[in-house]
Structure 1
Amino acid sequence: MNFKKIVIDSKGFTLIEVLASLTILGIILIGSMQFFSQAYGYTTLNQKKTAAINVARNALMFIENENFIEIRKSFEDNRDETFTILICDDTYEKFTEAQSPRPGCKPIMVNNIEYDVTVSHSDEQKSDYERRFIPITVRVEWAAGGNAKETEIEGVIKSEDIR
């Protein structure tokens, strides 16, 4: 009977009840805010990685449109040869380690993020296969949140004979 009287005759909440409910609400909100903050971080990272994969695909298509015989000869002469892809006068250009880029050439930039692109030979196939196909790896590196990130794609470029 005493409990029933307290509930019915109550005219408001006490300070302790208000503080307890605010504490519980605060704990719940902090937990949910951490979830949204972490989800935002993953979304941003995946957005940059998607852009990097698109940059790598574009570099692969650029190399595929280059002279097949010259690229094959370059890789035959030096298996460890790498090409760096830069933007010079709004077009892609490839440079070997021995070549220095022209003034005005800069890394590929998407959404104000610089992507460093290198193309190298992939040692997966045998030389008979390479007469018509060259397996290559395109590696893209960028900085995100002070940390270096990278991704790579593998593909082949085909001889003009079978295009």
Structure 2
Amino acid sequence: MKFKKSLASSKGLTLVEVLVSLTILGIVLMGTMKFFSQAYTYTNMNEKKTAAVNVARNALMHIEKENFIEVREKFQKESEFLKIYICKNSEGKSIYKNFWNGESPESDCSPIKVNNIEYNVTISLPDEKNSDTKPAKGEYSSFFVPLKATVIWEINGKEESTEIEGEIKSEDLR
């Protein structure tokens, strides 16, 4: 009954009550806004990492389209790694171009760019950490070449990277 009377009275709220309620509301809203800020940062980083993984997959697909025997020989005998850039061809179209073992890219070449972020792609043979679970080197040479694509990009002055492993197979098996 007392509660009904206080609601029905025309006194209203005091300034102290209004300030206390605004303070409580502000604290709750600040906590909520912090959550959304962290969620945005996390989502933004995951978006860039997803783009980097897709760039790495595209790079491996590009290498798979190259002549298998030439790629196999270059990796196993001559070069340790290759970098992939986007270059303009004679018709003005953008194409992937390989630069082996530190060759300098041409002036019209640039790193792969997605959403205004430059992704530097390096393809190499994978580390032999798990040598007991991988076939011997001679077993790869006939039909498979294992590769590792490493993608490096920079966000707010901090370098990020991701890598994926795959293998290319001989045209004889395709």
**Structure 2 length as normaliser, TM-score?**
0.85
Partner Cα distance (1:34, 1:132) in 2: 53
Please say if 1:127 is aligned against 2:137: yes
Change (3 A) 1:22 1:129: same
The CA deviation string for residues 22-59 of structure 1, in whole angstroms up to 9 with x for no partner, is: 00000000000000011111111111111111101100
Q: Provide the secondary structure at the position in 2 that maps to 1:11.
A: coil
Partner Cα distance (2:69, 2:60) in 1: 16
2:101 is aligned to: 97
Query: CA RMSD of the aligned region, Å?
Result: 1.9
Q: Provide the secondary structure at the position in 1 that maps to 2:172.
A: helix
Please say if 1:156 is aligned against 2:167: yes
What is the aligned residue count?
161
2:87 is aligned to: 88
Deviation at 1:62, TM superposition (A): 0.3
Percent of aligned positions that are identical: 54
The CA deviation string for residues 104-129 of structure 1, in whole angstroms up to 9 with x for no partner, is: 11000001100000000124442232
Matched to 1:145, the amino acid is: N
1:53 is aligned to: 53
Runs of 5+ in structure 1 lacking a partner?
none
Q: Select between 15-24 and 89-98 the one with higher mean Cα deviation.
A: 89-98
Contact residue 121 and residue 150 of structure 2 kept, 8 A: yes
Change (3 A) 1:13 1:98: closer
Matched to 1:112, the amino acid is: N
Matched to 1:75, the amino acid is: F
Matched to 2:46, the amino acid is: N
2:18 is aligned to: 18
Contact residue 52 and residue 151 of structure 2 kept, 8 A: yes
Matched to 1:141, the amino acid is: I
Matched to 2:139, the amino acid is: Y
Structure 1 runs of 4+ off > 3 angstroms? 3-6
Contact residue 107 and residue 116 of structure 1 kept, 8 A: yes
Q: Provide the secondary structure at the position in 2 that maps to 1:161.
A: coil
Q: Provide the secondary structure at the position in 2 that maps to 1:153.
A: strand
Partner Cα distance (2:75, 2:3) in 1: 89
Q: Provide the secondary structure at the position in 2 that maps to 1:160.
A: coil
Matched to 1:105, the amino acid is: C
Contact residue 125 and residue 135 of structure 1 kept, 8 A: no
Partner Cα distance (1:65, 1:5) in 2: 80
Matched to 1:42, the amino acid is: Y
**Structure 1 length as normaliser, TM-score?**
0.91
